[in-house]
Amino acid sequence: MAVTEEQQQENPLLEGLRLRRTPDPCALVIFGASGDLTRRKLFPALYSLALRRLLPERFGVVGVARTQESDDQFRERMKEAVQEFGRDEFHQETWDWLAEGMRYVSTDFADEGGEDHVVTALNELDEKRGTSGNRVYYFAVPPDAIATLVREIGDRRSTNGWTRVIVEKPFGRDLESAKALNAELQKHFDEGEVFRIDHYLGKETVQNLLALRFANGIFEPIWNRQFVDHVQITVAESIGIGGRAAFYEQAGAIRDIFQNHLLQLVALTAMEPPIDFTADSVRNEKVKVLRAMHTPGPKHVVRGQYGRGFVEGEEVPGYREEEGVARDSLTETFVAAKLFVDNWRWADTPFYVRAGKRLARRETTIAIEFKRAPHPPFEEAAEEELRPNVLVVHIQPDEGVSLEFAAKVPGQGLTLRTVHMDFLYGGAFRTGIPEAYERLILDCLLGDATLFTRSDEVEEQWSLVDAIVSAWQRDRPAFPNYEAGTWGPAAADELIRRDGREWRRH
C-alpha cells in the first residue's frame, strides 16, 4: 500500500502526502474492540490510511473483546462504524481489502486460554496475509486491565518479528501507579517498543506549533520572557460526561485532561529547540520543561463542578444529576492553574491554563500575549484601548493561527483599531486535515515515537498533579460552583484578574 509519485498524481486524496518509508508487514491487535474508541476512532483511522495506501500491503487486524461475535459480525459492525464516523467517502474496494485481513476473538482479558486464541488468530494472519510475526498490540481497555495484558503478551512474545504496544490514557491514576505500570512494561518490553498515546499530540495544529516556532526566523527570537507577558492555554468542552460516569468519577478533569493534554501543550509551547526532530531529542526537551514546571501554591489552582445551565440554547443537567454520578460527588469538572517554568527562557512568565466540561463552547487554544509597546505614541488615537499583540494557535475546532495587532482605520485622521490576521488550515490546503489517530497509528507502525510520551514524561506530569491533588484533600469545595454554558467558576476569573490580566473570551 505504499504511495508512489505516480499514484499521487492519479489520486487527489494522496496529494500533499510526504513520501516516507513503507511500514513493515504486521498485524494490529486491538484489545477492547467492542468499545467506542475502536468504533469512533480506530477503524475510521485505519480505513483512511488504507484508502491513502499508507498501510503495508501485508496487514491484518485482530479485534479482541468479551462480546460474543463472529468474524463476519465484527466486520459488519466496523463497516457501519467507518460509514458513520469516517472522514472519507466509503469505497467498497478499499473496505474489502481491509476486511479480508480482519479476525475477531471473544475472550476475557485475564483468561490465559483466550490469549492462546489470539495467538492462533495471529499465526493464521502470518500464514494467509504474510504479516511476518510483527505485532502491534493496542490497549483500548480500562487501566486496571493493562497490567494483566502486558504480562500475558510479554510471556508469549515470539522471537520472530518485532513487537510494539500502544497504551491509551490515562496512564495510571497517580505517580505511584504510573511508576508501577512503567515497571511492569519494562519487564517485558524495551522503552522503544512502548507507545503511550496522547491523541492531542497527533493533531495537525499541535504539530504545527513546532513548525511555527522552529521553521520561522521571526518567532523564536521573541519567544521568551523578554517579549512575552504571559501565555494562556484553554482546553474547553461544551459537552458533559456522556456515559462515562464510572471513569470520570475516578478521574475528574485533572486526570482526564490536565495531566496529559494540557501539560503536553505547555511543554510544546515552552520547550527549547531540539537538536533534531528524532523522538528522543524532542522528548528530552519536553521533559526539561516538565521538570522545571511548578505552581506557586494551592491558592493558584482552582477547581470547579458544573451545575444546571444552558449550552447552545438547550438546558442541560448539572454534573451531580448525570446518570451514575453520586449526588454529593466532589469530582471536579474544571481546573484552572497558574504555572511557572523555572528556566532561563521563561523565568517569572506565568502560564495560565484551564480545562473543563460544559463550558460556553468547544475550544482549544494557545495564546501567546506579548508585552505592550513601551511608548505607544498613538494611544489617544485608538477607538478603544489598544490590546497587546497576541499570537493564537487554534487547535480545535477551527484549526489555524491568528495574530492580533494595531492598524489604522481607513479615512482621514489617525484612528487605530486592533485587527486580526488569520491563517486557516481549511483555506490554505486543499486536502482535509487527517484525524489524530491516523497519524499516531501510522507512526507506531513505522516505529516513530516522536508524538508519544516517554516514561519519564508521564512521571513528571503525575508529580505535578499529585502535588495539586494532595492539597485538595485538606478542604471540601462548595460544588457546584459554575453554571453549565459559562466559562467556569468566578474563582478562575479572580485567579488571573489579581495579576491585572483577563482570560481571552474569543
Active-site amino acid positions: 261
- Cell matching residue 449: 515515537
What number of other Cβ atoms are within 10 A of residue 417's Cβ?
Answer: 13
Contacts of 171 (CB under 8 A, 6+ apart): 143, 178, 181, 196, 260, 453, 458
Query: Which amino acid, 57?
Result: E
Q: Is the dihedral of CA 364, 486, 490, 466 positive or negative?
A: negative
- Cell matching residue 130: 504474510
- Cell matching residue 457: 514524561
Which residue has cell 490497549? 139
Whole-number Cα distances in Å, 34 to 5, 99, 119, 355: 38, 16, 19, 29
Cα separation of 430 and 422, whole Å?
17
Cα separation of 482 and 44, whole Å?
36
Contact 198, 453 (CB under 8 A): yes
Tell me how many helices (H) and strands (E) the chain has: 16, 19
Cα separation of 180 and 174, whole Å?
10
Q: H helices within 330-488, ranges in order? A: 425-428, 436-446, 455-472
3-class secondary structure, 279? helix
CA 295 to chain centre: 22
- 226 DSSP 8-state letter: T
b/e burial code for range 372-392 (CB count within 10 A of at least 16 → b): eeeeeeeeebbeeebebbbbb
Whole-number Cα distances in Å, 262 to 155, 282, 411: 35, 17, 44
What number of other Cβ atoms are within 10 A of residue 195's Cβ?
Answer: 22
